[in-house]
Amino acid sequence: MRFSIEDYAKTFKMSKEMIHNKIRTKKLNYSIEGGIPYIIVPSGSMDENSKPAHLEKNSSATTPSPSPIKTNIGMVISLYQKENHHLKLKIKELEAKIDSLIHDKEQMLIADCNRIEEIYTAKDEQLKSILEVLSTKLMLSHNNTVHDVVATAPQNLTPLASSGIIELKRYLKFIGIGSEGRRIIRNRFSQGYGSDIRIIQKEGEFYVDLSKYDYTDLL
């Protein structure tokens, strides 16, 4: 008679681990068919308690010769290979999950950093524009030989754009340049337009970008 490992364990009330151990130590006769081990038990070697007689110490039954060592080694290697393959698949699944979590976390951190950087960049541009205006106004207030500077700026002028780009005539009024001075400065901008990258013209009007350039030499 032949038994699969599961049937043998149920029939003789043994654990599968014990059966595998007996197979490795050649205490059980077995054969391999289609890659599956089967335990061979002669029909006449089973006693009334359904235990194989070749396991009894005083049994005189003839025990078949064990399978060759090569077959035994092949079976053990096959079992270990299957187990190793299963573990490798599990490891790959875990690594994929870990990589996905790390990627998601990195994307969240990058998005947060970009938002913070945008906020601080906008604040820096606003502050830079204000400082540029104040610096230009202070320099003009101490250079009376070039322009007739009004001591105080008109109260009803619209504040400068926070981006730093503003129409030239609005900027000149804001810093207190008189009409004659504005005409001279506009002529300078007209002469330099096309050759000076600082001079910006849109729809016939000149603009200044205080966040990027210094226009002191033109004022």
**What is the C-alpha separation between 151 and 175, in angstroms, rounded?**
9
Q: Give the per-residue pLDDT at 102.
A: 93
C-beta of residue 168 within 8 angstroms of C-beta of residue 207: yes
Per-run averaged pLDDT (10 residues), the chain, 219 residues: 88 88 87 86 63 46 49 77 88 92 90 87 82 76 46 42 75 89 92 90 90 87
